[in-house]
């Protein structure tokens, strides 16, 4: 037998999004994706699949030892690929890769993908992701950011730039908003323009070697890890290119090995000028810190120092009953432990500003101080305008204030992000449950009943309770008991209540939303059963748009009867989700859609 067989690398098939070069995209985004593949190749024979494919056919062709699925990316010109037949080749272990910011609004899409693909173990590139997805943190490991030392190293550039200011400066980066202007107004600076990822000018930003050389020619370069206290690539790129890192002190940065005035400089708005004045007056100090930072990065944070996925692969092969895999920290190694020992992975417990505001708002909401709670949740959106946890809580506040229309609009937007913008098979189960509840609060009980089974794979405690309400209000034919299947994970955390406490809470919500008849029926209905003895008949189609709603409902029902579920859109049959637009896209070839213009005009559809 050939001795090389014993030493071959295990084969990893990496299902990566289609990150082909985009004329308008920032060049460094594509480099990040290429560097991830390069990092995996240090331990694996990597096969990258970036096209729509059949999982069974890919496994038959490449015979992988492990498969890795990229998911949850907030596309900047990249295309999410479609993968079918993932329920085959069960002997091949599968991992999910959350390749996104921890607060990203595609997290619900990521969890939907994982459920559809049968994946139960995940890696994330962000150290704070476990704090943002606590429902899955037991099976979530960190494969943290790193640099390619072939790009980020000491080029021997003359230090002709006192300070380089690079990166975006808006609400997500409060430290930069405070510190950058103070630096810019006092010291000579090279300032990079703040082009957004999606901007047509993004392609003009420095990337790769040009960016690394600019850093190498700089004395000091400040950056931060956003309001979430994350470790971003710049934390490693700056000292990796042998410039002095000036940054914010956070738990994640310290976990990466950074120590103030030893291998970096921690500053805030109160001492940044004082510290930089000292450093520029003592160039030997800058050189000492810069050299130590460079050594830290090249000894701990390059493509050669990220074996976590490979470690999981080796440990999982020999995993015995009663054992599990844990990680010693976000930059640490993985190890096997006995489950009875109750050891857990060590995650960063930071001081993310949005998490603090959410917790504060939750305490206020519990005290029925709805206005103050709303203020906290709205402030979260100053950091991340699309933060789903804040929008969901604002919908709850709207229900508490009796504004069912506002709650409905917020929940529609959340569902749209996941099933339309991201393209997941189904939405977050908690968002869907409260979407149905908002319909009930709007008096559209029958509409909620018709939609409750639209996503048959969804199962969650809050969704069960929404179905229980529909049953007790007399719009379901039986008892709702227990979950329909394994509970789907949600990005949302809701108060821990018993069924009776929850029903009392929702009874109050109905009263506030001017639905006293529904509230009265809910109070009279037997717990856990159908309230047929006092059921309320609420019109499904109301107002001038009734004929359109009948059409949407009828068309969707016809798709089910004709067994065309594979062509049925994954969006609810409602005009606000553009159901017919998605149906036309599924049924009509793109070349023939022009013939449908007369229908679109008659029905006032949006353009296809």
Phi-psi region of 433 (alpha: psi -120 to 50; beta: other; left: phi over 0): alpha
Minimal CA–CA distance to 174: which of 131, 228, 125?
Answer: 228
- 603-606's contacts with Cβ under 8 Å and 24+ in sequence apart are 603/548, 603/551, 605/578, 605/580, 605/581, 606/578, 606/581
DSSP structure string for 302-340 = BGGG--HHHHHHHHHHTPPTTEEEEESSTTS-EEEEEGG
**Per-residue b or e along 205-217, where b marks 16 or more CB atoms closer than 10 Å to that residue's CB:** bbbeeebbbbbbb
In DSSP terms, which residues pair with 140 in a beta bridge?
A: 122
Domains 4-144+306-341 and 161-303 share a fold: yes
pLDDT at 574: 86
What is the helix (H) or strand (E) element at residue 246, kind and residue range? strand 244-247
Q: Is the pLDDT of residue 478 over 50?
A: no
Confidence of residue 29 (pLDDT cuts 50, 70, 90): confident
Question: Is pLDDT above 70 for 25?
Answer: no
- What is the per-residue pLDDT across 282-315, written as a single tens digit (0 to 9) for each? 999 999 999 999 999 999 999 999 999 999 999 9
pLDDT digits (tens, 9 = 90+) for 154-164: 999 999 999 99
pLDDT, residue 607, reads 45
pLDDT in tens, 215-244: 999 999 999 999 999 999 999 999 999 999
> How far is CA 377 from each of CA 119, 392, 403, 440, rounded to the nearest angstrom?
32, 9, 17, 24
Confidence label for 6 from pLDDT (cuts 50, 70 and 90): low
pLDDT at 122 (0 to 100): 98
How would residue 546 be classed by pLDDT, with cut points 50, 70 and 90?
low
Check: CB of residue 269 under 8 Å from CB of residue 248. Answer: no
Top-confidence residue, 367 or 5: 367
Segment 197-210 mean pLDDT: 74
The CATH class for the domain spanning 4-144+306-341 reads: alpha beta
Q: Is the pLDDT of residue 579 over 70?
A: yes
Does residue 340 surpass a pLDDT of 70?
yes
All structural domains of the chain with their residue ranges: 4-144+306-341, 161-303, 405-534, 546-603
Please give the full DSSP string across 250-295, using - where no structure is assigned: -HHHHHTT--BTTTBEE--TTTHHHHHHHHHH-HHHHHHHHHHHHH
13 strand-pairing partners = 47, 67
Would you state the pLDDT for residue 280? Answer: 97
> Distance (Å, rounded) from C-alpha 582 to C-alpha 399?
30
Is CATH 3.40.50.2000 correct for 161-303? yes
CA 151 to chain CA centroid, Å, is 29
Q: In this predicted model, what pLDDT tens digit does every residue of 424-465 receive, in sequence order?
A: 999 999 999 999 999 999 999 988 998 999 998 899 999 999
pLDDT at 16 over 60: yes
Q: Dihedral sign, CA of 550, 552, 555, 559? A: negative
Q: pLDDT for 262-271, tens place per residue?
A: 999 999 999 9
pLDDT at position 26 is 64
Is pLDDT above 50 for 540?
no
Percent helix, strand and coil across the chain, each to the nearest 5: 50, 10, 40
Please determine, for residue 4, whether its predicted confidence score (pLDDT) is greater than 70: no
Q: Is the pLDDT of residue 23 over 90?
A: no
Record the tokens describing residue 608, joined without a space. 């296809």
Instruction: For the chain, report the end-to-end CA distance as a whole number of angstroms.
Output: 60
> pLDDT band at residue 592, thresholds of 50, 70 and 90?
low
* Structure confidence at residue 543 (pLDDT): 47
Nearest alpha carbon to residue 43 among 307, 295, 343: 307
Residue 86: predicted pLDDT: 97
Q: 152 phi and psi, to 5 degrees? A: -100, 100
- Could you tell me how many residues make up the chain? 608
């Amino acid at each position: 037998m050939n001795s090389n067989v014993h030493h071959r690398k295990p084969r990893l098939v990496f299902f990566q999004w289609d990150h082909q070069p985009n004329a308008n995209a920032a060049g460094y985004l594509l480099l990040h994706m290429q560097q991830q593949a390069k990092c995996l190749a240090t331990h694996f024979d990597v096969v990258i699949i970036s096209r729509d494919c059949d999982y069974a056919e890919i496994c038959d062709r490449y015979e992988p030892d492990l498969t890795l699925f990229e998911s949850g990316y907030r596309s900047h010109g990249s295309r999410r690929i479609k993968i079918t037949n993932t329920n085959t080749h069960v002997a091949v272990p599968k991992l999910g890769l959350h390749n996104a910011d921890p607060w990203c609004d595609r997290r619900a899409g990521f969890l939907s993908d994982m459920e559809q693909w049968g994946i139960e173990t995940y890696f994330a590139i962000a150290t704070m992701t476990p704090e943002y997805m606590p429902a899955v943190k037991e099976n979530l490991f960190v494969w943290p950011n790193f640099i390619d030392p072939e790009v980020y190293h000491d080029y021997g550039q003359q230090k002709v730039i006192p300070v380089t200011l690079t990166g975006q400066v808006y609400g997500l980066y409060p430290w930069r908003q405070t510190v950058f202007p103070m630096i810019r107004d006092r010291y000579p600076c090279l300032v990079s323009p703040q082009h957004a990822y999606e901007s047509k000018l993004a392609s003009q930003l420095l990337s790769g070697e040009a960016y690394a050389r600019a850093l190498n020619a700089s004395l000091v370069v400040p950056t931060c890890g956003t309001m979430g206290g994350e470790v971003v690539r710049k934390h490693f790129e700056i000292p990796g290119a042998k410039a002095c890192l000036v940054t914010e002190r956070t738990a994640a940065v310290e976990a990466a090995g950074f120590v103030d005035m030893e291998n970096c400089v921690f500053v805030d708005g109160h001492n940044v000028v004082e510290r930089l004045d000292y450093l520029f007056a003592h160039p030997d100090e800058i050189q000492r810190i810069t050299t130590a930072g460079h050594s830290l990065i090249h000894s701990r944070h390059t493509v050669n120092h990220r074996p976590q996925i490979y470690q999981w692969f080796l440990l999982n092969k020999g995993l015995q009953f009663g054992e599990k895999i844990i990680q010693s920290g976000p930059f640490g190694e993985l190890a096997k432990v006995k489950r009875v020992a109750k050891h857990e992975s060590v995650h960063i417990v930071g001081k993310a500003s949005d998490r603090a505001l959410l917790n504060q708002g939750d305490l206020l909401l519990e005290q029925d101080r709805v206005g103050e709670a709303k203020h906290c949740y709205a402030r979260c959106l100053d950091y991340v305008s699309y933060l789903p946890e804040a929008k969901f809580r604002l919908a709850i506040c709207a229900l508490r204030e009796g504004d069912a229309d506002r709650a409905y609009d917020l929940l529609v937007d959340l569902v749209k992000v996941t099933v339309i913008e991201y393209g997941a098979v189904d939405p977050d189960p908690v968002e869907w449950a409260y979407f149905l509840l908002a319909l009930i609060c709007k008096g559209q009980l029958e509409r909620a009943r018709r939609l409750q089974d639209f996503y048959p794979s969804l199962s969650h405690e809050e969704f069960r309770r929404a179905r229980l309400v529909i049953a007790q209000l007399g719009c379901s034919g039986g008892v709702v008991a227990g979950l329909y299947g394994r509970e789907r994970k949600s990005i949302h955390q809701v108060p821990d209540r018993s069924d009776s406490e929850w029903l009392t809470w929702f009874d109050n919500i109905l009263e506030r939303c001017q639905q006293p008849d529904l509230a009265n029926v809910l109070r009279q209905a037997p717990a856990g059963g159908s309230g047929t003895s006092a059921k309320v008949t609420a019109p499904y189609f109301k107002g001038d748009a009734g004929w359109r709603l009948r059409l949407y409902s009828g068309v969707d029902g016809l798709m089910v009867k004709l067994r065309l579920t594979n062509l049925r859109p994954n969006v609810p049959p409602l005009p606000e989700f553009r159901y017919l637009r998605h149906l036309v896209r599924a049924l009509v070839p793109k070349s023939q859609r022009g013939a449908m213009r007369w229908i679109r005009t008659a029905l006032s559809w949006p353009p296809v």
